[in-house]
A and B are shown apart, each in its own frame.
Chain A
Amino acid sequence: MNALNIQDLNVNIEGKPILKNFSLTVPKGEVHALMGPNGTGKSTLAKALAGHEAYEITGGKALLDGADLVGLEPDEIARAGLFMAFQYPSEIPGVSIANFIRAAIQARLPEGENLQATAYYKELYDKMDALAIDRKFTSRAVNEGFSGGEKKRCEILQMMMLKPAYAILDETDSGLDIDALKIVSQGVNAMRGPDMGTLIITHYQRLLNYIQPDKVHVMWDGRIVRSGGKELALELEEKGYDWVKEELAAATA
C-alpha cells in the first residue's frame, strides 16, 4: 500500500509511555491534519518517526510504502523518503543553507554521481523566490539568527528541494504571522499532489484555513481518539479540546 502506515506504535521517553498503540494511515496523495492539545504526544510522534534516539520505540511499526522505518538511523529514514519539518529547527553555525541542502541532495544521489551546481542553484533560487526568501540567505548559516518565520520558511524550502514521498510538519504554523503563514501554506499546497502524503501537526485550526486537509485526526493521551473530515477542525475550534476530553470520559465511563 502506498501510504505512511503507523501501526500500534508505542514510544517511551525516559521510560515513560507517551505514545500508546498509536495508529494512523496517511495515503500518498492526501493531506491529513493531526490536532490535539499540548502534551498529548504530537511532537513525540514526529521525533520518534524521525529516529531521534531519545525516543524509545517499544512496539509497533511505521511503514513507509510497506517498509518499516522502526530501527533505522535518522539519515536512513530521511533518505527512505520521510521529511520532518521541525517545530524548533536547530541553528547550525558556519554551515550555509546552500551547502546544507546540497549535502542533503548529494546524499540521495547514487554513488559516484555528483550534483550539478548550476541546475541546483537555479532550482534553489526559484524555490526561494516562491517562498519570498531573500537570495542572500543562501550564504547565511542555517537558521542562525533567523526569525521564527524565516526558520519555518527555511524548513519548507528544504522540503521543496528534497521532494520527499511523505512529510510531517510539526507545528509549522506556531509563531508565524499571517503573511508568513500564507507563504508557508502556498509552499505546502504547491507540493500537494499524487506523489506526496503530508501530515500536518498543529494545535490550532488557523493553518487549515489555508491548507485544506483531506482528513483531520484528534489526538489525546498518546493515541487518536477521533477522526473525520475538515469540518472536525472547525468543530474543535468552536468547542475546544475539552469537548473531546468530555466525550472521551463519557465513552470510557
Chain B
Amino acid sequence: MHQDTSSAPTTTQVDILSGDTFQKHQASMPSNAWMQAQQAAAWNTFKSLPMPKRTEERWRFAQTVGLSLEGYTLQDKPADAEAILAQSAHLEDYAGRLIFADGHLLAKDAISEELAAQGVLWLSLEEALHSKPELLERYLFSLSTQLGSDKFEALGRAYARAGSILYVPKDVQVKSPFVAYHWASQEGASIFPQTLIIAETTSQVSLVDFYLSASGAPALACGSSHVHAGPGAKVFRKSIQNWSRKTHSFQSDTHTTERDAELYSLAVHLGGEYARFENDVEITGAGSHAKLYSLTVADDKQMFDQRSLQRHQAPNATSDLLYKNALCDTAKTIFSGMICVGKQAQQTDAYQTNRNLLLNPSAEAISLPGLEIEANDVKCSHGSTSGQIDESELFYMLARGIPKPVAQKLLTFGFFEEVIAKVDDPALADNLRLMVEEKFATREH
C-alpha cells in the first residue's frame, strides 16, 4: 500500500459556499484546462440554481426545509489517517484499492503488474488528470441523472478531487473487485466522491464504493458515479453507505449500457440524517440487461429519499429494479421510480419493485412508481408493497419456540436476504449482513 504523503492543500476550515474557497480549490487542483473549465462551469451552475422545494415534482414528499448547505467546510487531511486506514478493511481480496478521507487521498493499492500489462487503469482522479486526461474528457461528468439534484451534483463536480477512475480494456476480465473508501471524518467536513467505471467491449469488472464516517460529526457528501458498460461488458457496482447520523448526503449515479451489456448496481443505505440517492440507467444498446438493487435500513428520524429512472432507448433490453426498505421508529423513506420506454425500444422487459417493511406504525414509506411507455410491444410492470411483519410468518416462528424479538429480527434480516443474495462476493455479503445486524444491535429501543 502506498500512502500519500504529499503536502496538504491550503484549504483549512473554509466555507464551501464562498467564492474564495472555490478559487483556492481550483488553484490546488492539477493544472488541466478542461477540468478547470468544467469545475468553473459547475460552480456557476451551482451558484445559479436555487435550493430545491418540495413543490417540485422531483422533490415530492422530500423534507427540503432542513436541507441547508451552510456551515460545511473543506478540510485538511485528517490527523487520524492511520486509524482510518486500519478501518478500511471490509474486503481482503481486491484488485486495487483507493482510500480517501475528507476529500484527500490517504492511500492507494495499485493493480498487479499483470492487470497493468493488460491495460487496466486504476487511478485517483488527480492521477488521471495528469496521465489520462483524454479519458476524463470523454466520460467524466458526461451524464446527469435528470432526477432533480442538479444543484448538488454541480457542487460535487465543482469540488471534485477525491475519485476513482477505473478503465478495463476490451476482453479483459478482472475477478477481484476494486474497492474505494470515501471517509468523512472532521466536524463539518464536506466530501465530493466521484466514481467512473469504463468497461470496454466484453470486459468484466466489479467495484465497491464504501461511503463511511470516521466519527459522529456532521458532514455533507455530494457524490456522483458513472458506469459505462461497453458492448457485451459485464459490470457490477456496489455502494455501501453508512454515514454518521448527522450527515446529509446527495448521491447521483448514472449508467449507460451498450449492446448486450450486463449491468448490476446494488446500493446499501444505512447512515445519514437525510440521504438522497438518485439512480439513472440509460439503456442505449439493444439486448442489454440492467439490474438495480437497493437495501435500506431506516431508523430514528432518518430520511432516505430515493429516485430512479430506467430509460429504455434500444430494443430487446431488460431492466429490473428491486428496492427494499425496512423502517423503524419515525423514519421515512421515499421511493420514486420511473420507467421510460422510447418508441424504438420494442420488446423491452422492464420491472420496478419497491417493498417496504414497516417495523413501527409511526414510520412512513412513500412509494411513487411510474411508467411512461411509447413503444407498443413491451412488458413493463411496477409494484410496491408496504406492510408490517407478516403475522402468519411470525406465528410460525413462535410456534417453533422462537421468542418474538428473535423471530422479528430473523424475519427482518430475511426481508433483506433477497437483495443480499444478489451479491456475488461471499465476503462482501457477510459484511453486509454484519453491518445490518450492527445497525439493529445498536438501535435505541
Contact = CB atoms under 8 A, between A and B. Distances in A.
B417 A93 contact: yes
Contacts of A101: 400
A92 B395 contact: no
Interface in A87-122: 89-95, 99-101, 103-104, 107-108
Given A52-B395, A74-B395, A93 B415 contact: yes
A20 interface: no
Contact of B402 (A51, A77, A104): A104
B410 A78 contact: no
Nearest to A84: B399
Contact of A141 (B392, B400, B402, B414): B414
Given A90-B393, A94-B417, A78 B411 contact: no
Nearest to B392: A90
B93 to A, nearest CB: 22
A73 B398 contact: yes
B404 interface: yes
Most buried by A among B399, B402, B403, B411: B399
B409 to A, nearest CB: 9
Interface in A129-178: 141, 158, 162
A90 B396 contact: yes
A95 B395 contact: no
Contact of B400 (A52, A73, A93, A158): A158
Interface residues of A, number: 28
Contacts of B407: 75, 103
Contacts of A93: 414-415, 417-418
B418 to A, nearest CB: 6
Interface string B375-396: 0000000000000001011011
A92 B416 contact: no
A231 B390 CA distance: 43
Contacts of B172: none
A233 interface: no
Contacts of B66: none
B414 A78 contact: no
A94 B401 contact: no
Interface in A55-82: 73-75, 77-79
Given A107-B406, A141-B417, A92 B393 contact: yes
B383 to A, nearest CB: 15
Contact of B406 (A92, A103, A162): A103
A88 to B, nearest CB: 9
B395 A90 contact: yes
Given A94-B416, A99-B410, A100-B410, A108 B401 contact: yes
Nearest to B413: A94
A162 B396 contact: no
A232 B404 CA distance: 42
Contacts of B396: 86, 89-90, 92
B397 interface: yes
B401 A79 contact: yes
B402 A75 contact: yes
Interface of B: 390, 392-393, 395-404, 406-407, 410-411, 413-418
29 contacts: A73-B398, A75-B401, A75-B403, A75-B407, A78-B400, A78-B401, A79-B401, A89-B396, A90-B396, A92-B397, A92-B414, A93-B414, A94-B414, A94-B416, A94-B417, A95-B414, A95-B417, A99-B410, A100-B397, A100-B400, A103-B397, A103-B402, A103-B406, A107-B402, A107-B403, A107-B406, A108-B401, A158-B400, A162-B401
Given A75-B404, A92-B397, A103-B406, 7 more contacts: A73-B398, A74-B399, A75-B398, A78-B401, A90-B392, A95-B414, A99-B410
